[in-house]
Amino acid sequence: MEIRNIAIIAHVDHGKTTLTDAIMTQCGHGDEGSMDSNALEQERGITIYAKNTSIQYKGTKINIVDTPGHADFGSEVERVLRSIDTVLLVVDAQEGPMPQTRFVLKKSLELGLKPIVVINKIDKPAADPERAHEQVLELFFELGANEEQINFPTIYAIGRQGIAKKNISDDTKDLSALLDTIIEHVIPANSDTNISNNGSAAQVFNLAYDNFLGRMSICRVYGGKFVDGQSVFVKNNSGRTYAGKITKLFTFEGKQRVAVPEIVAGDIVMIAGMPEIFIGDTIVDTENGDVMPAIKIDEPTVSVDILVNNSPFAGREGKFVTGRQIRERLEKELEVNVGLRIDFSSNESFHVSGRGELHIAILLENMRRRRI
């Protein structure tokens, strides 16, 4: 089956998740709930973590990564952009491009991606889709887009009603115009052998945990294929290579993972069996296979010191209150929270740096809920 891999990117609240949910619903995955599945995401009504899903449309598999639009979670966007071939740049038809539109578009253009622009929320009373389109075009020029990138296809949408159109005046009732454009415009992922010319390779862009299988890596397969039970090598950008063995393979159907005997180039998959793997690492089938370029993440902007509570109120809340327990939790967080930096060198406190106040606040709230 042919495969297309895309990410949906935008400024906060411009309608990425609503659009992704509508695509899921129209492609038969409406009973799986919103992409904003995390408890904190539901409480706050924003996306915090990039997540992937997979649908089938006209016999083609489309892997979609929904990303957060809040600037504090920019690293979530950066870490997934390598694993996909095109972005849907969603822009609110009333607000036009906003600061984070610029940030995510810049990162995409730098990677050579050719975006599809979705002017969304055209149902808003004050929407001005033509002006938004004009502003997006200007932004492409400003960011130094090449000619191919500037010739982006534009789709007009009401994500909340599951409607997409090629022209504003079209009378459409579903998202076919968008899905057809994805099939036409995005290069088939299977044909993508240019990145790895040295055997089978997959790069990790996310991690997950399973009580039975342990650490799971979510990867994009770049070349060849891997089979269940295969012996492989893991390589990282600091030059380390070590042997490993695949103990289980999955692909995605909607948000569900499905066990498969083999995975092929182009697909976005989940691999179990490598307990020490990290985001950015490359899995190869031969010891001299090429390591993929590192995934670049911008530096943090704010920091806080976390220390053991020694105030008179100590011990009133939480269960895991020692320095060692805090440290263990922070070390685990570092594995998946790629925008975070932590300095463990002081004995008294941990110096935690993130991409903004909300980035740190979500970390602290997650720790509090784990009774730390």
Binding footprint of ligand GTP on the chain (CB under 6 A): 10, 12-18, 46-47, 68-70, 120-121, 123-124, 158-160
Other CB atoms within 10 Å distance of the CB of residue 240: 11
Among 4, 16, 51, 79, binds Mg ion (CB under 5 A): 16
Partner in contact with 285, chosen from Mg ion, ligand GTP, none, beta carbon below 5 to 8 Å by kind: none
- Please state the closest distance from residue 187 (CB atom) to Mg ion, in A: 26
Asked whether the beta carbons of 10 and 101 are under 8 A apart, the reply is: yes
Stretch that binds Mg ion, among 11-19, 240-248, 271-279, 295-303 (CB under 5 A): 11-19
State the DSSP code for 254: B
Nearer to Mg ion, 17 or 86 (CB): 17
Question: Which of 121, 329 has the CB closer to ligand GTP?
Answer: 121
Beta carbon of residue 44, minimum distance to ligand GTP (angstroms, whole number)? 8
Least separation in angstroms between residue 45's CB and ligand GTP is: 6
* Whole-angstrom distance, CA of residue 251 vs CA of residue 260: 7
Note whether 47 binds Mg ion by CB under 5 A. yes
Q: What is the DSSP letter of 25?
A: I
Q: Please give the backbone phi and psi of residue 62, each rounded to the nearest 5 degrees, phi first.
A: -115, 115
In the bound complex, what is the minimum distance in angstroms from residue 76's beta carbon to ligand GTP? 10
Q: Which stretch binds Mg ion (CB under 5 A): 9-17, 143-151, 241-249, 284-292?
A: 9-17
DSSP 49-80: S-EEEEEEETTEEEEEEE---SGGGHHHHHHH
Q: Which residue is nearest to ligand GTP (CB)?
A: 69
The Cα–Cα gap between 274 and 339 comes to 23
Contacted by 160, from Mg ion, ligand GTP, none: CB < 5 to 8 Å by type: ligand GTP
Residue 158 contacts which entry, Mg ion, ligand GTP, none (Cβ below 5-8 A, type-dependent): ligand GTP
Q: What angle do CA 277, 280, 281 make, to 5 degrees?
A: 45
* Edge-first strand listing for the sheet containing 51-57: 51-57, 60-66, 3-10, 86-92, 116-120, 154-158, 163-165
70/355 with CB nearer ligand GTP: 70
| Dihedral sign, Cα of residue 328, residue 332, residue 334, residue 337 | negative
**Contact in structure between 230 and 245 (CB atoms under 8 Å):** yes
In 194-292, the DSSP E strands lie at 201-210, 214-223, 225-227, 231-235, 241-245, 248-253, 256-259, 262-264, 268-272, 282-284
Residue 266 binds which one of Mg ion, ligand GTP, none, with CB within 5 to 8 A depending on kind?
none
Report the distance separating Cα 340 and Cα 77, nearest Å.
14
Residues in contact with Mg ion, counted by CB under 5 A, come to a total of 3
Does 52 bind Mg ion (CB under 5 A)? Our answer is no
**Least distance between ligand GTP and beta carbon 187 (Å):** 25
Q: Does 20 bind Mg ion (CB under 5 A)?
A: no
Q: Are 119 and 157 in contact (CB under 8 A)?
A: yes
Is the dihedral angle over the CA atoms 86, 282, 249, 227 positive or is it negative?
positive
Residue closer to ligand GTP (CB basis): 14 or 248: 14
Q: Compute the least distance from the CB of residue 22 to Mg ion, in Å.
A: 12
Partner that binds at residue 120, options Mg ion, ligand GTP, none, CB closer than 5 to 8 Å by kind: ligand GTP
Nearer to Mg ion, 119 or 246 (CB): 119
Residues that bind Mg ion (CB under 5 A): 16-17, 47
